[in-house]
Structure 1
């Protein structure tokens, strides 16, 4: 257990270092944008006095390293400053949008994860059959198709032509859970089609790799049924790579949701990021990017820890 704790602490330390480097890149990228931020906020008709006052208000009259340290110290405690457009606290703006994104990601994960594992096991058992070949073609097609393309296809056939689901995922506080699930089904299905295909292929590969192991052959020679060989012998040893790919795809569900939210006008953090970029609301842009980075690093850490806990060889590297 001590070895596992040491490994987890090392991974956490590397994650914090990575997040620190990413924060420098985010701040530096905004600094390198062409033009003056104060002029961009005020518009071309602003006077020099107004621009100077805005630069002082935004702290642009101070050196960049000082402004970065102020921004980072505030971000550590959840204070990302105020929006340049609305004047609202950025954390208060992001919080409900991030909750919506987490809900959409959880909705897609609840559908995608069990389906991907079950179908991955089935296609592994039916390797080289017609079902396996058809599944491979469909999964490759799904993986190769951009999210916005899948989203528009789903809108065309499930919204425009049939009217089963709304094309715009507009939410309100007075909706019941069933109404929310109905309105967000199309964006969730779009994400399911992408991540489920990847998880299913990785599950299939992990199971097929283990089916060639000597202990699996011994179990077959003893007359163990095929389903029991998979469930009791192959699947427990395949959990490490499966958990790893599931965690990485969950990270994608949260951080790669920007295009899906834009297509369906879903009020999540991805849509907020696009709106902030359009309006040049840089505090919101920086905060959204940092939240995405922290979420991705945290879920990667969860994938590493899950792989370690489910694999004795990683738990006891000696």
Structure 2
């Protein structure tokens, strides 16, 4: 378990490093001079040179990259050239709202998907398995914006159960915020349900066909105990550790 987590952590660090290099390289390949673009075509060369020095773009590329990474780690994303305020202050409110939405979607999709996948595996080849598998594939195949529009029409317009016109009030309590985030959270659930349910189904089937599960049955353990102690424990780890592929 520890080796598995360390391997995943190392892979995540390597991925972040490659992404940081690609993002920084893309910014370096942008056409034009930063100082000239900010000050305009009529700025004097001295003013352009002074701004380039203030921004640090006249230093070697590797120094710029290391400085950029160091500041990013410490939460310093620089200053917005348009608004002249820290970039972090502009991203903060949006990031908080995104995290709240992700938390609501996560709280909904994880139990639903795992229960659906495990139930489908236990009824493998039967009607519940076919229904859950087909439903998950259908949800995954539908584009996110189509799912969102359908949910708005059903729960916001026809039934009027959930708000669709605005975000939650600034002074809203926890339950009010969750109420306002249910509809967009449901749109994310539809997208993720099929993938997580398929992973849970596959992991459960593999665990059911493993030697330790057969041994547990041979020892005389009842089905519920075997599923709870052996099947779920070994089938849910790859499901939780898996990542949804990009669409």
TM-score using structure 2 length: 0.82
Q: Does 1:29 align with 2:26?
A: yes
- Which one scores higher on RCO, CA 8 angstroms, separation ≥ 6? 1
Check if 1:49 corresponds to 2:46. no
Structure 2 segments unaligned to the other structure (5+ residues): none
Which ranges in structure 1 are unaligned for 5 or more consecutive residues? Answer: 260-318
Where does residue 157 of structure 1 map in the other structure? Answer: 154
2:161 counterpart of 1:167: no
Structure of larger gyration radius: 2
Once the two structures are superposed, residues 113-149 of structure 1 have per-residue CA deviations (whole angstroms, 9 ceiling, x without a partner) of 1122222221111111112111111101112222222
Output the CA distance in 2 between the equivalents of 1:131 and 1:146.
25
Aligned to 2:192: 195
2:58 to 15, 40, 62: 62
SS at match of 2:107: helix
Residue 84 (structure 2) pairs with residue 93 (structure 1) = no
- 1-structure distance, mates of 2:32, 2:187: 38
Any conservation in 2 of the 1:168–1:183 contact (CA below 8 Å)? no
Alpha-carbon distance between aligned partners in 2 of 1:13 and 1:204, rounded to the nearest angstrom: 28
- 1:169–1:184 CA contact under 8 A, matched in 2: no
Give matches, 1:292-311, under 5 Å: none
- Structure 1 residue 76 and structure 2 residue 95: aligned? no
Aligned match of 1:306: none
Count of residue correspondences:
244
Deviation at 1:225, TM superposition (A): 3.9
Report the Cα offset of residue 204 of structure 1.
Answer: 0.9
Distance in 2 (CA, whole Å) between partners of 1:10 and 1:210 is 22
- Alpha-carbon distance change, 93 to 51 in structure 1, aligned in 2, over 3 angstroms: farther
Query: Judging changes above 3 Å, is the alpha-carbon distance between structure 1 residues 212 and 36 closer, same or farther for their aligned structure 2 residues?
Result: same
Shift of 1:155: 1.6
Take 1:133 and 1:10, find their aligned partners in 2: how far apart are those partners?
A: 35
The answer to whether the 8 A contact 1:154-1:190 is kept is yes
Distance 2:65 2:218 in 1: 65
Aligned twin of 1:130: 127
Tell me the SS of whatever aligns to 1:184: helix
1:156-188, Cα deviation, whole Å (9 max, x unpaired): 222233322222452342112222112111111
